[in-house]
Amino acid sequence: MKHLFFFLIMPWCLAAQDSIVVHFGFNADQLNVREANKLKKSLKSGIVSIDRIVGTTDSLGVDIYNLDLSQRRAQHVKKLLDSLNPLVSNRATVLGKGEVLSSNPLDRKVVIYFQQRLSDKLKSAKVGDNIKMNQLNFQPGLDLLLPESIPTLSELLTTMVENPKLQVAVEGHICCATSDDLNLSGMRAKVVYDYLVNNGISANRLSHQGFGSSRPIIPLPETTEEERIQNRRVELRIVAH
């Protein structure tokens, strides 16, 4: 298939986001010191903006109480984030989703969804780390990039130029199917590889491979669109830095 041609069809505009998870004690709506410090430390990692703050509870207790508790947890995290860096969190949507249908203590949590510059993630990564290219979007079922992906590729190119020792393996992944007969994951990885090579990055610093759905972030089968978005992705594995 040809790459970098854009057609006027309905785009796939959703992208995976990075996230931080903080956990709460039983019936608590305030973070303990350890979880609060984890959140504070995460804000030093080049976060550009926080988009959503989503609270949940376990399934113990009645529904209406759990909904209120999840909202209080999300609001507590929002206030803490605002006190640390309001410019990052001031536009965040705050949502309490109530209970998750399990009694797992790990469901007593708030998830913070955020945007981080790809260049910051690459510069701070260690050899062996995998970095998701969150704003890299393709047309559904194809290896054709959507126009909003170009800034992400440009940022990757600039980072590769500025860091000549950086070597990456471009790895593609799909969602929703147990097989990848057409190697769509591999073709999407090669789109990124070709862009870098065609813009002057030595092929000796790069490789590309598709893994189909063999390495899901969310176990198959996915049950929500958000889970599918997490699984269909292109990642950069740091080979040398």
Task: Specify the CATH number for the domain of residue 224.
Answer: 3.30.1330.60
Residues 145 and 209 in one domain: yes
Residue 6 in any domain: the answer is no
**Measuring CA to CA, which residue among 40, 21, 129 is closest to residue 81?**
40
Which of 86, 116, 146 represents a domain boundary (last residue)? 116
The answer as to whether 129 is a domain residue is no
State the pLDDT at residue 237. Answer: 97
Contact between 159 and 119 under an 8 Å Cβ cutoff? The reply is yes
**Which residues are CB-contacts of 198 (< 8 A; sequence separation ≥ 6)?**
none
Residue 17 confidence (pLDDT)? 65
| pLDDT score, position 13 | 36
Q: How far apart are CA 136 and CA 171, in angstroms?
A: 13
pLDDT of residue 81: 95
| Domain shared by 87 and 164, yes or no | no
Question: Is residue 197 located within the same domain as residue 226?
Answer: yes
Q: Looking at the structure, do residues 149 and 94 belong to the same domain, yes or no?
A: no
Token code pair at residue 34: 């350890």
Q: Report the distance separating Cα 136 and Cα 31, nearest Å.
A: 34
The HSE-up count of residue 103 (CA atoms within 13 Å, CB side) is 3
**Helix (H) or strand (E) run with residue 20 in it:** strand 18-23
In the chain, % of residues over pLDDT 90: 68
For strands 109-116 and 47-57, give the pairing: antiparallel
Q: Does residue 220 share a domain with residue 180?
A: yes
Q: Which domain holds residue 157?
A: 134-240
Number of structural domains the chain divides into: 2
What is the rounded CA–CA span in Å between residue 233 and residue 179?
16
| 10-residue mean pLDDT series, the chain (241 residues) | 34 56 96 94 80 94 96 98 92 95 89 90 91 90 93 96 97 93 96 98 98 91 84 95 89
How many Å apart are CA 151 and CA 79, to the nearest integer? Answer: 32
For position 11, what pLDDT does the model report? 35
Phi, psi of 94 (to 5 degrees): -110, 130
One domain, residues 23 and 112: yes
